[in-house]
Chains A and B, each alone.
Chain A
Amino acid sequence: MNVLITVTCVSLSFSWASAEFDLAQIRLIVYQDCEKRGRQVLFDSKAIHKLDTSEPYTRPASDVNMIGEMMFGSVSMSYKGSTLKIHHIRSPPQLMVSKVFSTRFGSSTSGSTNTYVSCFFSSAICCYMSLLNNVFFLHWILISHSNPVDMPSRGHSEDGDSGIARSASLSSLLATPLPSPGSSFSSGLSSSYQRRWLRSQATSLQHGPMPRWNTEEMFNLSDESCNSNPAMIQRKKIAISIIISLPEREEENHNFQEFFFSHFPLFESHMNKLKTAIERAMIVCRRIAESSQRVQVYLCRVMEALGEFRMTVWNLYMAPRISEPVWLSMISQSTERNLLCQRFLKEMSLLMEHGAKSQFLAALLTAVLTHHLAWVSTVMPSSLPPIKSACQKPASQTVDLLAKSHPYNPLWAQLGDLYGALGSPVRVCRTVVVGRKRELVQRVLYVLSYFIRCSDLQEHVQPQGQMDNPASPCTSQTTDPTPEKTCPPKPDPLKPTACVIGTSEKALNSDLGNAIPGTSVEQNHEILLTDTNSTSPSPSSESTAVRPEFTEMGQECFGEDSDSVGGGLEHILANQSPLLHRVQFHIGSPSETANDGQAGGLTGAGCGRGLDRKLHQRLLSDIRRKESSDSALGDSDDEETSPRELHEDCTNLVCLFLCSCQVESRASVNHFGHSLLGGYCPQYMPDFALHGISSDLRLKQCLMADLEHTVLHPALDEPVAEALCIVADTDRLSVQVVTSQRRVCEGGRLGRDVMVSNLVHTLITSVLQLFALNIASDFCVMHLEDRLQEVYFKSRSLAEYLRGQTRVHVKELGLALGIESSDIPLLAAVASTHSPYVAQILL
């Protein structure tokens, strides 16, 4: 099987890329579009040779005009926010990502344009540049005297506010849309579910466009040191493009694209960093009087930022990964579970021995469990009976149903899991393991890959070479354009791809035949699709085919993994399939259906409604057990047909059957669970949820800036209150937590030391002692999960305790709840995932 080649690897780490990725293949272009002066290139990495030569610039590349067109479009848009574009250039194969910004200039308090014109580029520089290079590529007139006074744009006051909104003050984040603690919703469902539900709502098309937290992103050229106010908005746009040359070999090209598109949020985040650097370069060089020097400084700074970007992207693609992250491997394959458990516990025992004196492992796990919070929902007890065996955790059915009825992006969900963004306020965390001993660092990474958890992703794709592709509307037409075979794709009782019910085809054809524009005015949309058995064109084959196909379709379409998903949906489907034989799709006035003696008859509009309601009752039954009744799955169909229930939108529509096609399920490879759990890397990586490095030199240089950047431009695409990094040093056996909320740390240290939670300490100790007593390793892992569940229960009682308290009596917590002061940070973080108010009380 080609499912997971990585699993068979013996080595601890592997890399994504099959071939080298050339850094020079990433090109940066900065362009300006000015209403008066048209477009000018402000930077093109292709046009720069080497900065230290006397002639750093060459002619502009021949394609810059075309690129400018692509960046800005042929018609300029008046939209003030930032626009994102991605182009695919066929030859030579390249991907181009552009961000177009409106510009914001600082103006002095007087509001006169003259004052800052002088401190900015004058057209003289541009002339100089033009003479020097004989080209115009560095036209750089952002402001000139001829510019009219800018009109304040409509709604600019909101623009001013957006900066504040984005800086995400803690209080505003505490008001993030989580249900109130008293609601029944918060008690039983994990924050994993809530995050996903909210995401599906926040990105729903049904609500139309919603201004979100990061809408008004501008290109900021206001110099804060000049005491400027960011009110002026120029009728200029600045666009930044990154052009990536794609590998020539088809397979490499494909792999890179798959990686690029699935990891886009990370690329984008780095692009934002690049943009900030360009902004700064422009602002800084404004202060330089001498023009050639000014240009030099600008170019140097931008090239430096581009170098950084290239290096980060290269690292992201090429850095080694943990080949067998314990948690993901354990949940994806049940056959090798015992061996995995054994190896995991062995590595953990070795680690425990190594840092016994300093409680290194306990401190590290305290920090990891406190901040990478995705483990919490994996221990929250399910209310459903296990499907296979008691030791296997059930897959969440509520999340599964949610994903089907209200699709959200599973990749996004996974990213949030890995960064531990499940608490309230939202915090994101990464863990870096530093140490010169490769083996030791890798052992730490391996053990942590059990505790840093995320959902596992499956990909469902059409098998190669499948003929009837539902995406092709003219499949049957291409060879034989007779109007008889038109229901797409061609119904074929032998294949599950076919439209399931034969009658639909016939009836629809007769209807659609009339529906050709202009041919018939008095057409009647009242079509009846009655009993499939009696009117099917080929009753013998159809009637036998219908039932198995229907159930099969449901499974195949969604790649239902019968191992992981319970009987819920299959149960519904099984209940429904007999209904299909008496389904009556009546398009027209609903009242006309009444006289047909079929009790279970559903109107066209109702056809999905009944199921849909059931599905939700099923879903809700877990949420609000009180409200649900067994009849939700039973035979209360009759009420579904009442006209009141019918959705207005659908009453008159021509009902077509939803086509399905066979899909193959395979473990998705391009997902964050694999890509963000790094191995022992040559260099510090700002994206990885977990990775190891040999020296913390670069980490010290970059970390604070990275954390600040994460808060401003989170790859997670939602506001983040705080970014954290756990730094575990295996040489010094120290564990520190560094936060974006700068707190003074004495002695040049990065962050604060971690206090070992007593709960975590006893947890590890007893698991490893059991292992030492030769108890089966998978039992030890089960015990570990039980103990983690205890931590969750404790957090529940802490949350309940805090609900009524204005002051926290630590002694009381210890005596009555068995919660020691060392456990409070951990338990409060866990509690904030299910009881958001906890953070408010403890602040």
Chain B
Amino acid sequence: MNALVALCHFCELHGPRTLFCTEALHPPSPSPPQPGSAIPGDRDREADREGEGLTMRANSSATQRADMCEGCRSLPASHPGFVSVDSETGIRYLSHQHPRQPQLFSVVRQACVRSLSCEVCPGREGPIFFGDEQHGFVFSHTFFIKDSLARGFQRWYSIVVVAMDRIYLINSWPFLLRHLRQTIQSLQDTALKVFDNEQCVCPQRAVRMNSAFSPAVFPHQRSGNAARSLTSLTQHPNLWASLHSSFSWLLKACGSRLTEKLLEGAPTEDTLVLIERQTEQEEEMSGWEGAEGGGSNPQPSQSESVHSKDFQFDDGRQEDLLGPKFKSLRHLRQVLGANDFRQLTWHVLMGNQVIWRGADPGLIQSAFNVLKALLPVGCVRAVSYSPHYEEAYRCNFLGLSPDVPIPAHVSSSEFSMLVDVHNVERGCVNPVSDDDILSLYQFNISSANTQPTDKGPTLLNKIEVALSNGNLSVEVVSLCLLCLKEEWMNKVKVLFKFSKVDGRGKEDTQKVLALLGATGPGEEDNVRLLKFWMTGLSKLYKSHLMTAVRGGERTLSQ
């Protein structure tokens, strides 16, 4: 808890004194204070302290030390203090006679004086809460400790818990009261035993009755007695270490008394797939201890894992390759022109194999990076640059060097499309900037597809609106794309549940498609997209739905 605990004593000679103080030092803040935020800086605190009605100004421990007896002291001046570390949280609990943090010194002093000489507790022993915003808030419990030599055979103490969070401290009242009572009870019981022993040995009442009262002698008599420390009253040589432990525990337990469970949203399918791929990759890597995977020319057997890695670090890797690059979907659209772009993205979204063939692997990879954003992570299987053709089931993005032949069954298939990147013959023109891709390359798009690509899917139509609107920044477009993808992923989930898990018939499926908003113009494309995207669902999600069904049936049958 963000608080400190102090044991205070009303010394018969010196008035209210702080004996022992345990404070919690929290680890550095998990995030740096923001500029302009209300995190306290270095205000002139001393100015606030002026004009206190109480004698709060005996602030320096040096002046106090000179004016101190055994009864007002806990640890000797030479003692370094105690520390306990909560290894889980990094919070350190420090105990000294006075707080180590200078700004807390007067706060504790104030709490001590108020608890023992200002605030009135009926019966003198018991709990009080008091405080204000300037001095902090205090839960105080006053109590007596038996002392055979003291006036009235007892001394007055208090334990104060000081915090700035008024409400937290008040909320903790029942807890603090319960545990401080135990602490106090334990001190009192121990002192009572000592007291009884001392009384057996030398009954003080009799001594006092018999000794003639003499005003001249009285102060001297008392001054010796007033100096008894709490250690001597309890005959507990390690009292302060024990109190340190008790107080540290109290602070810790009070802070963790209530915990909250705050839920976050479930991770997106993209996150789940990435985690799954990473796990697979780690397993594979650990399989081939020390083997150098990856490289610019990966073996087919490695390509899967390498490319899942690619997906995460693509930006970084792209930097390695020089030359012109596609920067965004909008850039790609500008370069290819709206028609070719529409065709290309249509094929990407339908799950067809998109082959780019050209001499510049950097350019091709940048095109893939931009295009991948159209799909859920789970639907992306890319071989960014290969010396030979890879089958469609291995990859839906394939980069090839210029001379690699495309097998006939592929070039004649409506489920693939080819982008040939030709270098433009460059004369002795001025060196062109990297950005000007069109002056360097020519793009030829070909596909055996005969379906119209201008109707759907709905998602593509919406993306194109965003891309063609120059008012929208690249960031807005990419968030817009994210929204659309998530929206359609949610439809994919429903369709998966409906058709694959529950195995519903066509009629019902049509109803679901309608309620998902997948019907209407472009319906065919929407359905194709949904079916393709289904393959991108995470394993975890699929298996959860499958087991949930079994689990659900069990609960129903019960």
Q: Per-position contact with B for A461-483: 1 when CB-CB < 8 Å, else 0?
A: 10000000111111101100101
Determine if A559 and B259 form an interchain contact, defined as CB atoms under 8 angstroms apart.
Answer: yes
Contacts of B545 in A (CB 8 A): 779
A residues in contact with B128, CB < 8 Å: 85-88
Cβ of A3 < 8 Å from any Cβ of B? no
Which of A44-52, A289-297, A702-710, A788-796 binds B?
Answer: A788-796
Task: Contact check, B238 vs A396: say whether CB atoms are below 8 A apart.
Answer: no
Contact B264 A83 (CB under 8 A): no
Q: With A470-B249, A650-B94, A654-B241 as given contacts, are A773 and B79 in contact (CB-CB < 8 Å)?
A: no
B164 touches A608 (CB 8 A): no
Residue in B38, B90, B243 whose Cβ sees the most chain A Cβ within 10 Å: B90
Minimum-distance CB pairs A-B, first 7: A612-B90, A608-B85, A208-B103, A177-B37, A78-B53, A203-B165, A472-B186
* Cβ of B476 to closest chain A Cβ, rounded Å: 5
Q: Within 8 Å of chain B (Cβ to Cβ): is A653?
A: yes
Q: Give complex CA distance A396, B262 in Å.
A: 6
A198 to B40, CA, bound (A): 11
> What are some 30 contacts across the A-B interface (CB < 8 A)?
A73-B118, A75-B53, A78-B51, A84-B132, A85-B128, A86-B128, A176-B38, A205-B24, A208-B103, A212-B133, A261-B171, A261-B173, A338-B552, A380-B265, A386-B267, A392-B266, A395-B263, A403-B260, A407-B1, A456-B260, A471-B186, A478-B186, A478-B190, A512-B238, A620-B31, A653-B81, A655-B85, A656-B248, A658-B245, A776-B552
Q: Is A11 an interface residue (CB 8 A)?
A: no
A696 interface residue (CB < 8 Å to B): no
Known contacts A183-B34, A517-B229, A797-B482, A382 near B552 by CB under 8 Å: no
Q: Is B406 close to A, CB under 8 A?
A: no
Does A377 count as interface, using CB distance less than 8 angstroms? yes
Q: Which residues of B contact A489 (CB under 8 A)?
A: 245
Q: How far is the CA of A204 from the CA of B168 in the complex (A)?
A: 12
| Given A381-B267, A604-B83, also A766-B122 (CB < 8 A) | no
A471 touches B132 (CB 8 A): no
Q: Which residue of B93, B103, B266 contacts A785 across the interface (Cβ within 8 Å)?
A: B266
Contact B265–A393 (Cβ < 8 Å): yes
Question: Known pairs A79-B53, A623-B31. 7 more at Cβ < 8 A?
Answer: A177-B37, A203-B168, A390-B266, A475-B186, A612-B89, A649-B94, A801-B476
- Could you tell me which residues of chain B, from 122 to 161, have a CB within 8 Å of some CB in chain A? 122-123, 126-137
Please determine whether A471 and B179 come into contact, CB atoms closer than 8 angstroms. yes
Contact status B244-A661, CB under 8 Å: no
Q: Is A124 an interface residue (CB 8 A)?
A: no
Q: Is the CB of B170 within 8 A of A471?
A: no
Which residues of chain B in 487-543 are interfacial with respect to chain A, using CB atoms and an 8 Å cutoff? Answer: 487, 490, 493-494, 497-498, 502, 508, 511-512, 515-517, 538, 540-541
B257: interface (CB < 8 Å): yes
Contact B497–A779 (Cβ < 8 Å) = yes
Whether A786 lies near B490 (C-beta < 8 A) is yes
Q: Which of A366-418 contact B (CB under 8 A)?
A: 377-386, 389-396, 399-414
Shortest distance from the beta carbon of A714 to any chain B beta carbon, whole Å = 12
A659 within 8 A of B: yes
Bound: A332/B262 CA distance, A:
11
Q: Which of B24-79 contact A (CB under 8 A)?
A: 24-31, 33-40, 43, 45, 48, 50-54, 70, 73-76, 78-79
A557–B168 alpha-carbon span in the complex (Å): 20
Instruction: Name A624-679 residues within 8 Å CB distance of B.
Output: 647, 649-650, 652-661, 663, 668, 671
Do residues A85 and B129 form an inter-chain contact, with CB atoms below 8 A? yes
A604 to B80, CA, bound (A): 13
Give the complex CA separation of A342 and B465 in angstroms: 40
B101 interface hit (Cβ, 8 Å):
yes
Contacting residue for B472 out of A176, A650, A816, CB 8 A: A816
A717 touching B30, Cβ below 8 Å: no
Partner of A515, one of B79, B171, B257: B79
Cβ of A83 and Cβ of B88 under 8 Å apart?
A: no
Contact with A along B252-291 (1 / 0, CB 8 A): 1101111111111111100110010000000000000000
Q: Are B82 and A797 in contact (CB under 8 A)?
A: no
- In the complex, what distance in Å separates the CA atom of A73 from the CA atom of B117? 9
- Counting chain A CB atoms within 10 Å of each CB, the highest count among B2, B93, B541 belongs to B2
Interface flag for B11 (CB, 8 Å): no
B126 x A88 contact (CB < 8 A): yes
Q: Is B549 an interface residue (CB 8 A)?
A: yes
Interface size on B, residues (CB 8 A): 173
Of the candidates A458, A472, A661, the one having the most CB atoms from chain B within 10 angstroms of its own CB is A472
Residue contact B480 to A797, C-beta cutoff 8 Å = yes
- B493 and A786 contacting across the interface, CB-CB below 8 Å: yes
Q: Does A545 contact B (CB under 8 A)?
A: no
Question: A475: which B residues are within 8 A, CB to CB?
Answer: 186
Q: Mark B86-108, 1 if CB is under 8 A from A, else 0.
A: 11111111100000110110010
Binary CB contact string for chain B from 171 to 184 against chain A (1 if under 8 A, 0 otherwise)? 11110010110110
State the CA gap A409–B540 with chains docked (Å): 36
Return the contact of A202 from the options B35, B38, B127 (Cβ within 8 A): B38
Q: Does B422 contact A (CB under 8 A)?
A: no
Q: Flag if B3 contacts A384 (CB, 8 Å).
A: no
Taken together as a complex, chains A and B put the C-alpha atoms of A254 and B207 apart, in Å, by 46
Q: Does A455 contact B (CB under 8 A)?
A: yes
Q: Give the distance in Å from the alpha carbon of A258 to the alpha carbon of B34 in the complex.
A: 37
Q: How far is the CA of A486 from the CA of B236 in the complex (A)?
A: 8
- A619 in the interface (beta carbon within 8 A): yes
Residue pair B92, A77 in contact (C-beta under 8 Å): no
Within 8 A of B (CB), among A711-731: 717
Q: A208-B45, A261-B174, A516-B237 are in contact. Are A486 and B471 (CB under 8 A)?
A: no
**A778 shortest CB reach to chain B, Å:** 7
Q: Is the CB of A512 within 8 A of B241?
A: yes
| Given known A-B contacts A84-B130, A817-B480, A559 and B256 have beta carbons under 8 A apart | yes
Contacts A383-B271, A471-B183, A779-B545; A649 near B25 (Cβ below 8 A): yes
Asked whether, in the complex, the Cβ of B88 is within 8 Å of the Cβ of A611, the reply is yes
B241 lies within 8 A of A656 (CB): yes
Determine whether the beta carbon of B129 is less than 8 Å from that of A611.
no
Judging by beta carbons under 8 Å apart, are A412 and B167 in contact? Answer: yes
Report yes or no: A770 in contact with B264, Cβ–Cβ below 8 A. Answer: no
A179 neighbours in B (Cβ, 8 Å): 34, 37
- The verdict on A692 contacting chain B, using a C-beta distance below 8 Å, is no
Our pick among B23, B165, B173 for the contact of A86 (Cβ within 8 Å) is B173
Q: Is the CB of B33 within 8 A of A201?
A: yes
Q: Judge if B84 is at the interface, Cβ distance under 8 Å.
A: yes
- Bound-complex Cα distance A557 to B167 (A): 23
Given A69-B120, A473-B187: A412 and B168 interface contact (C-beta under 8 Å): yes
Contacts of B114 in A (CB 8 A): 73, 77
Contacts of A620 in B (CB 8 A): 30-31
Determine whether A17 belongs to the interface, using a CB cutoff of 8 Å to chain B: no
Q: How many Å lie between the Cα of A517 and that of B552 in the bound state?
A: 69
Q: Is the CB of A812 within 8 A of B498?
A: no
Q: Does A192 contact B (CB under 8 A)?
A: yes
The answer to the question of A818 belonging to the interface, with a C-beta cut-off of 8 Å to chain B, is: yes
Complex CA distance for A576 and B90, rounded to whole angstroms:
13
Q: Quick one: which of B52, B76, B90, B541 contacts A615, CB cutoff 8 A? A: B90
For residue A421, CB closer than 8 A to chain B, the reply is: no
Q: Flag if A658 contacts B252 (CB, 8 Å).
A: yes
CB of B87 within 8 A of CB of A607, answer yes
Q: Closest approach, in angstroms, between the C-beta of A356 and any C-beta of chain B?
A: 16
How far is it, in angstroms, between the C-alpha of A569 and the C-alpha of B246 when the chains are bound? 25
CB distance from A266 to the nearest CB of B (A): 10
Interface centre among B127, B238, B483 (most CB of A within 10 A): B238
CB distance from B47 to the nearest CB of A (A): 9
B130 with A205: CB separation less than 8 A: no
Query: A517-B231, A817-B483 in contact; A88/B127 too (CB < 8 A)?
Result: yes
Docked-complex contact A205 and B23, CB < 8 angstroms: yes
Which residues of A sit under 8 angstroms from B446, Cβ to Cβ?
A: none
Q: Roughly how many angstroms separate A183 CA and B52 CA in the complex, as a whole number?
A: 42
A90 to B122 Cα, complex, angstroms: 8
B26 engages A406 (CB within 8 Å): yes
- In the complex, chain B residues whose CB is within 8 Å of the CB of A66: 120, 122
